[in-house]
Amino acid sequence: MKTNAESLARKSMEAGAKGQAKMESMAAKRRGHALLHDLGAALYTEQRLGGDAQASRRLMALLDQHAGEHGLDTSPDVPDPSIGAAASGTSSPPPVG
C-alpha cells in the first residue's frame, strides 16, 4: 500500500509540474504575441503618423530579449489576402491611405 501511495504522489507531482510548465509556456507565447502587436502598432505610428522611433527601438529590444528566452512564433495570424484573391479570381481591395 505504501508503494502505491508513493507512486500516486510522484505521478501527481509530475502531472502538476507538467501543467505548470504548460501554463508558463502559454503565458510566454501570449507575451510574445502582445510584444509583436505592440511593435506593429509602434512601427505603423512611426511610419504613417510621424511617431517617435524610440518606441519601436524599445519594443524591438524587448522582443529580442523575449525571443532569446522563450523563442518566438512569427507565423501570421491573418492570411495573405492576395492568396485568396488569386484563388478566387477576384482582385484585392485598394490600398488604404
Whether residue 93 has pLDDT greater than 60: no
* CA distances, 26 to each of 20, 36, 40, 42, 93 (Å): 10, 15, 21, 24, 35
Alpha-carbon torsion angle 58, 62, 64, 65, nearest 10: 140
Give the total residue count for the chain.
97
pTM reported for the whole predicted model: 0.67
Give the pLDDT confidence of 69-92 residue by residue, as tens digits: 999 888 887 887 776 555 555 555
pLDDT (tens digit, 9 = 90+) per residue, 16-60? 888 999 999 999 999 999 999 999 999 999 999 999 999 999 999
Spans of all domains in the chain: 2-69
Grid coordinates given for 89: 479570381
